[in-house]
Structure 1
Amino acid sequence: MIHVTGPRRARLHEELAKESRRHLAAYVLFNQAVADHLGLHPTDVQALSLLTAEPEPLTVRQLADLTGLTTGSATRLVDRLERGGYVTRTPDQRDRRRVLVTPVPERLARVAAVWDDLGPGWQALLDGHTEDELEVIIRHMRRAHDLGHEQMRLLRSRPKPE
């Protein structure tokens, strides 16, 4: 990896920090708009996204780990999603002590319809990049995901400021 030093790199870091804050704020507000549109809590929308991104159903504990919620908060989240018909709780056939949270495809079609409406705009954004640029973006997003979870665990382990 090539590291540029000097004023250009400092300027790029500063610009990237500003644009990252703007991007994250826009995404949080976008997520809120999606949740409002669907009549869901923003965390519920993200939990559904995580549940559908995983190849297998998750336990409440796994969902708590992915979201950074306590198991109690994750249980309440799953309760809301279950009441809304978005997920079911099913016994794990491999370990009967565990309960799996399984998305309900028919109900998720409601969420997918929102993405179907918005997807072309996001696709156009990606179409403006070369394959090499897409690989850089993917690598960055994976690393940012891992770092975000690492820092989330770090923050949760520290006492809250007074």
Structure 2
Amino acid sequence: MPQKSSAPRRRAAMLAELSAVSRRYMAAYALFNQAVADRLRLHPTDLQCLNLLGLEAAPVTTGRIAELTGLTTGSATRLVDRLERAGYVTRARDTVDRRRVLVATVPGRMAEFGAVWEQLSGGWAAMFEAYDDDEVALLIAHMRRTVELSAVQIAGLREGGGGPE
């Protein structure tokens, strides 16, 4: 009697493990984010907004902040208000289009923000150093796809749905 392949069972077991590990990963990241935000006396969303602003090449509008964070423009305005009160950003009229207001990070405060990340980055760098180039490429591809899928699901949730069917 021929033996059945164990590949479908192995795949099902791996996907079940991936599901559980993914949930732990997301919870660990959320808790890590909260701990860093607490250290900086920020709301976790404000922390991630600063993270995203640090990746932008120039000052941005509140509308762009709404795009980056997936927040409504009203919520993004309140977020900028909080960051401005905390000294992390300033608002200034766009010199090209005086109707627009640009939000810029404050270099000294961003240096403090960066110092906390720098303090934590050694462990992450060591972890990534253990991977070969193909594994790093897979991680990069996974993270890019995760960012794209998250944006779609956030939009779906904000529109009252549950994300893609």
Aligned partner of residue 97 in structure 1, secondary structure = coil
Residues in 2 aligned to 1:90 and 1:19: alpha-carbon distance in whole angstroms: 44
Gaps of 5+ in 1: none
Deviates more, 1:62-71 or 1:44-53: 62-71
Task: Report sequence identity in percent.
Answer: 55
Structure-2-length-normalised TM-score: 0.89
Q: CA deviation at 1:117?
A: 1.3
Distance in 2, Cα, partners of 1:68 & 1:152: 7
Match of 2:36 among 14, 34, 37: 34
With 142-151 and 58-67 compared, the bigger mean Cα shift is at 58-67
CA distance in 2, matches of 1:120, 1:54: 24
Q: 1:130 aligns with which of 128, 132, 140?
A: 132
One-letter amino acid matched to 1:88: T
- TM-score, normalization by structure 1: 0.90
Q: How far apart are residue 91 of structure 1 and its match? A: 2.0
| Deviations, residues 62-114 of structure 1 (Å, cap 9, x unaligned) | 11122121111111110111111101112223332221111111111111111
Q: Tell me, which stretches of 5 or more residues in structure 2 are unaligned? A: 1-6
Q: Bigger radius of gyration, 1 or 2? A: 2
CA RMSD of aligned residues (A): 1.5
124-133 or 86-95: bigger deviation: 86-95
Q: Once the 2 structures are TM-superposed, how far is the Cα of residue 14 of structure 1 from its aligned partner?
A: 1.2
- Paired letter, 1:143: R
Question: Which of these residues, 86, 89, 114, is aligned with residue 116 of structure 2?
Answer: 114
1:64-143 superposed matches below 5 A: 64-143=66-145
For 2:57 and 2:18, locate their aligned partners in 1 and report how far apart those are by CA, in whole Å: 33
Q: Does 1:22 align with 2:57?
A: no
